[in-house]
């Protein structure tokens, strides 16, 4: 039975918390290390501390996902966890982003771990909640579209706001962090409250259905990791995440040293994210015609086609590279919206096979894959050094060629591998509808 369409107000309320959460994500990567370095910590210490805090996610993400699957009450299964994460996120982000002059590595470590825990308490249930709002193949894409569009808009706010208010220049990292922290402290509680009040938290398993009558989810981790479509999708998502993460890590270096356009890097980034935001409705419409997996593969091929000209770009090629940023930015919406909607269909397969659904645990592993892709992509910085590239410059032709191969060549190969993994994807609209009928069938 098809799910009734969700009202636009509900979809806006559901996606809204993703905006301030995305604003929070960007400064932790861009401004935070530089600011703590100004407080006297070495870059090596900062890197080790942030890595240790990220390892903490490997414990908390699966734990929160599993617990939010198992425990719920009159307020639903996902709402209580998001509500619990909100005050911890707000408290820790202030102490982390606006530290005192005497803050040392213990301060950085403790408040980073607290912030990542609050983040997990909010984001893992939020993404799982989206998978449960509708069982319809196409509506799930729409739900994810609203959430990810809000996230892209939040990234743009984080890029633009410090510069608009005069706090975006080098050496002003502390002012930028304070400004963004204030924005998040105002917007995150308000938008989260709207989601908690306006978005339904459906009872699950559905009362009186075969899923509810089934025994509790069996097999645990073995069942999840033994799920063939999940393994393929997770691996393709991880590989594609690395393909996107490598250019992100190397972007500023490529623009500054290969193109000589470092002063206009912010404009290029803004155009990239604006293109991604504007293209979200396009991918939603195309996926409704051809299916999520086909459209995602097509988006990756489009990205590859526009990365190929990068090999011929050099000093002064600002306008051609601007075109590359816009055209590759179009695929950002597809990379954000379609895989997580496909993941919701994989959760249906697990539910139909084993009983009680485990969307929280599935999306916790999804989040870990995102973080692992970012961590692996960061190795590109070290690999660039093997070609003789140095951020301080100057760099010879061999070093710049190596930088370009890492920036564009390796991502092309990784995306081709991701496309191969998704070939003959089994969970199309027909297969997913059959799974929903099994899940929602009356209990015997």
In Å, how far from its chain's centre is CA 102? 33
Predicted confidence at residue 283, as pLDDT, reads 93
Helix (H) or strand (E) holding 430, with range, is helix 429-440
* CA distances, 191 to each of 6, 12, 27, 86, 336 (Å): 18, 10, 20, 11, 21
Q: How many CB atoms lie within 10 A of CB 241?
A: 22
- Using an 8 Å Cβ cutoff, are 283 and 299 in contact? yes
| Higher local confidence (pLDDT), 25 or 211 | 25
**422 shares a domain with 276:** yes
Query: How far apart, in Å, do the first and last CA atoms of the chain sit?
Result: 18
Of 169, 204, 239, which residue sits at a domain end? 204
Lowest-confidence segment of 56-65, 182-191, 269-278 by average pLDDT: 56-65
- Averaged pLDDT, 346-367: 79
In a domain, 349, yes or no: yes
Inside any domain, residue 220:
no
Same domain, 196 and 231: no
- Separation in Å, CA 92 to CA 32, 84, 96, 372: 14, 13, 6, 23
pLDDT band for 442, please (50, 70, 90 cuts).
low
Q: Compute CA distances 386 → 77, 174, 313, 317, 390, whole Å.
A: 49, 33, 22, 26, 10
| Closest of 133, 258, 247 to residue 201, by C-alpha | 133
Question: Is residue 209 in some structural domain?
Answer: no
Same domain assignment for residues 127 and 241: no
Give the number of domains in the chain: 2
Q: Do residues 157 and 28 lie in contact, with contact meaning Cβ atoms separated by under 8 Å?
A: no
The answer as to whether 92 is a domain residue is yes
Higher pLDDT pick, 30 / 63:
63
Whole-number average pLDDT of the chain: 84
Say if 211 falls within a structural domain. no
Residues 308 and 349 in one domain: yes
Beta strand segments in 153-193, E: none
Q: What percent of the chain has pLDDT over 70?
A: 88
Same domain, 249 and 197: no
Q: Give residue 220's pLDDT.
A: 58
Do 299 and 411 belong to one domain? yes
State pLDDT tens for residues 304-342: 999 999 999 988 899 999 999 999 999 998 998 899 889
| C-alpha–C-alpha distance, residues 408 and 410, integer Å | 6
Residues 284 and 360 in one domain: yes
Residue 391 or 153, more confident: 153
pTM of the predicted model as reported, rounded to 2 decimal places: 0.80
> Domain limits at 3?
1-204
Q: What is the pLDDT of residue 65?
A: 84
Same domain as 377, residue 317: yes
Ordered alpha helix ranges (H), 31-133: 32-38, 43-70, 79-97, 105-132
272 shares a domain with 194: no
In a domain? residue 62: yes
Q: How far apart are CA 23 and CA 77, in angstroms?
A: 26
More confident residue, 69 or 73: 69
Domain finish residue from 171, 204, 237:
204
pLDDT tens figures, 101-128: 888 889 989 998 999 899 999 999 998 8
Mean predicted confidence (pLDDT) in 1-16: 82
pLDDT score of 435 more than 90:
no
pLDDT at 219 over 60: no
Let me know whether 279 and 149 are in one domain: no
Residues 233 and 188 in one domain: no
184 and 255 inside one domain: no
At residue 160's C-alpha, the angle toward residues 154 and 161, to 5°, is 85
What pLDDT score was predicted for residue 182? 94
- pLDDT of the residue at 431: 86
Q: What is the pLDDT of residue 170?
A: 54
Between CA 409 and CA 390 the distance in angstroms is: 19
Q: Given 204, 233, 249, which residue is the final one in a domain?
A: 204
Average pLDDT estimate for 366-384: 76
241 domain-assigned: yes
Is-contact 245 298, C-beta < 8 A? no
Query: What proportions of the chain, in percent to the nearest 5, are helix, strand and coil?
Result: 80, 0, 20
Q: Would 9 be classed as within a structural domain? A: yes
- Verify cis geometry, omega within 30 degrees of 0, for the bond prior to 394: yes
Give the domain CATH number at 253: 1.20.1250.20
Q: How far apart are CA 21 and CA 30, in angstroms?
A: 15
């Amino acid at each position: 039975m098809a799910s009734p369409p969700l009202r636009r107000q509900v979809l806006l309320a559901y996606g809204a918390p993703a905006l301030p959460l995305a604003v929070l994500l960007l400064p932790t990567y861009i401004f935070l290390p530089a600011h703590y370095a100004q407080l006297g910590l070495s870059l090596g210490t900062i890197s080790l501390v942030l890595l240790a805090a990220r390892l903490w996610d490997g414990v908390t993400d699966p734990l929160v996902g599993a617990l939010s699957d198992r425990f719920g009450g009159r307020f639903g299964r996902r709402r209580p966890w998001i509500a619990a994460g909100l005050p911890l996120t707000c408290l820790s982000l202030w102490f982390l982003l606006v530290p005192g002059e005497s803050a040392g590595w213990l301060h950085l470590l403790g408040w980073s771990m607290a912030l990542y825990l609050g983040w997990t308490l909010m984001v893992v249930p939020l993404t799982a909640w989206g998978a449960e709002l509708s069982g319809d193949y196409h509506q799930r894409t729409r739900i994810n579209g609203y959430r990810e569009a809000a996230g892209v808009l939040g990234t743009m706010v984080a890029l633009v706001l410090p510069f608009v208010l005069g706090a975006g220049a080098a050496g002003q990292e502390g002012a930028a962090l304070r400004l963004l922290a204030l924005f998040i402290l105002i917007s995150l509680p308000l938008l989260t409250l709207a989601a908690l009040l306006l978005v339904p938290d459906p009872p699950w398993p559905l009362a009186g259905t075969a899923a509810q009558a089934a025994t509790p989810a069996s097999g645990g981790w073995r069942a999840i990791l033994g799920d063939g479509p999940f393994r393929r999708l997770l691996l393709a998502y991880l590989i594609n995440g690395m393909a996107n993460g490598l250019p992100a890590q190397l972007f500023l270096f490529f623009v500054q040293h290969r193109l000589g356009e470092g002063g206009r890097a912010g404009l290029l980034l803004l155009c990239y994210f604006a293109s991604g935001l504007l293209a979200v409705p396009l991918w939603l419409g195309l996926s409704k015609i051809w299916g999520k997996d086909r459209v995602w593969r097509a988006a990756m091929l489009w990205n590859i086609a526009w990365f190929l000209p990068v090999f011929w770009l050099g000093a002064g090629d600002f306008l051609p590279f601007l075109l590359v940023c816009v055209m590759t930015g179009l695929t950002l919406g597809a990379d954000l919206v379609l895989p997580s909607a496909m993941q919701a269909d994989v959760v249906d397969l697990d539910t139909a096979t084993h009983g009680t659904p485990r969307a929280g645990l599935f999306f916790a592993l999804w989040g870990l894959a995102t973080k692992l892709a970012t961590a692996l992509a960061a190795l590109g910085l070290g690999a660039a050094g093997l070609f003789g590239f140095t951020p301080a410059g100057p760099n010879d032709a061999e070093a710049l060629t190596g930088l370009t191969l890492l920036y564009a060549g390796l991502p092309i190969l990784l995306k081709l591998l991701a496309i191969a993994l998704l070939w003959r994807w089994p969970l199309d609209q027909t297969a997913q509808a059959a799974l929903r009928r099994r899940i929602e069938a009356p209990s015997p």
